[in-house]
Amino acid sequence: MAVKPPSLEDLARLSDSFGMRLSREQLQQFKQILDPMVATYDRLDQLKEPELAVKYPDRRNWKPTDKENPLGAWYWMCDIKGAPDGLLKGKTVAIKDNVCVAGVPLMCGTRLLEGFVPKVDATIVTRILDAGGRILGKSVCESLCFSGNSHTAECGIARNPHDLSRSPGGSSTGSGALVAAGYVDVAIGADQAGSIRIPCAWSGIYGLKPTYGLVPYTGIGPMELTIDHTGPMARSARDTALLLEAIAGPDGLDPRQRAGLPGQKYSAALTGDIKGLRLGIVKEGFGRTEPVRSQKDVDDAVREAAHALARHGAQVKEISVPMHPDGFHIWSGIAGEIVGFMIESGGAGKFWKGYYPTEMIETFSRAVAAHGEYLSDSAKTFSLMGRYVREQYHGRYYAKAQNLSRALLAAYNEALKECDILVMPTVPIKAAKIPPKNCTLAESVNCAIEAIPNTCPFNAVGLPALNVPCAMSEGLPVGMMFVGRMGEDATLLRAADVFQRKVFDTPTPQHKAA
């Protein structure tokens, strides 16, 4: 495309936005300087940019029928076969619909991206196929991933297979439901506040928010570079470990991976032995009062589950991390910038080296500029508050929250000196009812964020956190969260594997009617 030089009116508007107060004569002088500079952008259009590889181009895809999609958990279906052998040979996979799969539509739950079809595969998609996985489709995710419930995706509502009137948890909504119901073996989720762990807790499966930067986020629709995580979801700790093993490790294209953490043979770490492993039950993770009040049966089930591991060699005691409740507020200070980050930079941010999804950035930015009304209620809430605080306080609170996240990490690390795993409820409540279409604005926003008080602090600090199904109460799953030291994802999986094999395994849901 030819880049059009700015008009005098464009320059007047832009200079006013910077407070430059340029005269008409000055604007004309700047226009004379700027007009020839557009040739640079014309030349950039002529150059071909490097793209991510598409190694397995045979990929039939289609919109699912109602019969194929009884839980409303598929956004789009496909059949992409990978290598004939590998870690994931024989495993079927669902990919959250904020992850690029070449030739398969990506909507990210919002009309803003409806009709967008990526031309590239995310790094983790290539790795899954290289490992022999078979991708069956894109799972529903909440609108721009801004909800822990399942009421915001504009491609339709996904339902919990344990109770169709309830949410499977968000924002990796469809991934949780599809794995729990057995439609796929494993799935990919993405997690900025709990979006892997919440659907795993409410759907009764395993799900790991890996150590920050362990798994490349390349080719995935981001929210904010410092809290983005992507990871595995499965019905067993072993399959969770296998999927992590397939996708972990640096790809050289994601700035989140500056630490260069290597992947490991996570499945080999599942030895069945947890003798001497120290579990610390974090008392501040129980009895939560904001943004939701904890349910007693959830608290009791998690405590009982943690103590059950003592019968298999673990050492279990209660510990205190007084700063843990402030993790919600620290995360909120960071998250206040999320929508601004997404809107003003097309979701990818700036000033980092790596792969930029050019077409997604442009498509999203143009759509938001034309139709900001399509943002979900929760996205609108964060965008309004974030813009207000940024304009009034000039970045103070984002900066302070990021600085406080280091103090929060230090508090968790101090606790992890006296134990190997921190334990608390993943979500303080069991699966919530799906709110009705005519719910109030306040109800819509509240149910989008009520599930995150225990999960979101670990996005702010980057420690690995794993949901472990630990009980059923009133016919609904209860999730226990294991949190470990940076890079010690294998320790969490080892303990979860023992728990699943020797203490509790979630029963298969029967798609209970609403």
Asked whether residue 381 is assigned to any structural domain, the reply reads: no
pLDDT band for position 372 (cuts 50, 70, 90): confident
Q: Given a cut of 60, is residue 146 above it in pLDDT? A: yes
Q: How far apart are CA 337 and CA 35, in angstroms?
A: 34
- Mean pLDDT score of the chain: 94
- The catalytically annotated residue of 143, 171, 203, 383 is 171
Element (H or E) spanning 61, and its range? strand 60-62
Q: Given a cut of 70, is residue 512 above it in pLDDT? A: no
Asked whether residue 411 is assigned to any structural domain, the reply reads: yes
- The catalytically annotated residue of 91, 96, 209, 430 is 96
CATH of the domain at 177: 3.90.1300.10
Q: Which residues pair with 163 in a beta bridge?
A: 160
- Tally: H helices and E strands in the chain: 16, 12
Asked whether residue 217 is assigned to any structural domain, the reply reads: yes
> Does the annotation mark 31 as catalytic?
no
Residues 269-282 pLDDT 10s: 999 999 999 999 99
Please state whether the predicted TM-score (pTM) of the whole model is above 0.85: yes
Residues 229-254 pLDDT 10s: 999 999 999 999 999 999 999 999 99
> Does the annotation mark 332 as catalytic?
no
Give the β-pairing of 465-473 and 315-319.
unpaired
Asked whether residue 1 is assigned to any structural domain, the reply reads: no
- The side-by-side arrangement of strands in the sheet containing 60-62 is 60-62, 74-81, 134-139, 92-96, 186-191, 229-234, 206-209, 465-473, 476-483, 421-425, 278-282, 315-319
Q: What does the pLDDT read at residue 337?
A: 78
> Does the annotation mark 209 as catalytic?
no
Residues 379-412 pLDDT 10s: 888 888 888 888 888 889 999 999 999 999 999 9
Tally of structural domains, the chain: 1
Residues 103/95, Cβ–Cβ less than 8 Å: no
Q: How far apart are CA 514 and CA 507, in angstroms?
A: 19
Q: What average pLDDT does range 289-304 have in this prediction?
A: 96
Q: What does the pLDDT read at residue 78?
A: 98
Asked whether residue 181 is assigned to any structural domain, the reply reads: yes
- The catalytically annotated residue of 139, 150, 175, 195 is 195
Domain that holds residue 482: 60-325+403-502
Asked whether residue 441 is assigned to any structural domain, the reply reads: yes
Residues 30-74 pLDDT 10s: 899 999 998 998 999 899 999 898 999 999 999 999 999 999 999
Asked whether residue 88 is assigned to any structural domain, the reply reads: yes
Give the β-pairing of 60-62 and 74-81.
antiparallel
Which residues have a Cβ under 8 Å from the Cβ of 487 and sit 6 or more positions away? Answer: 211, 214, 261, 464
Asked whether residue 452 is assigned to any structural domain, the reply reads: yes
Closest Cα to residue 169, out of 144, 133, 140?
140
Question: Torsions phi, psi of 288, nearest 5?
Answer: -65, 150
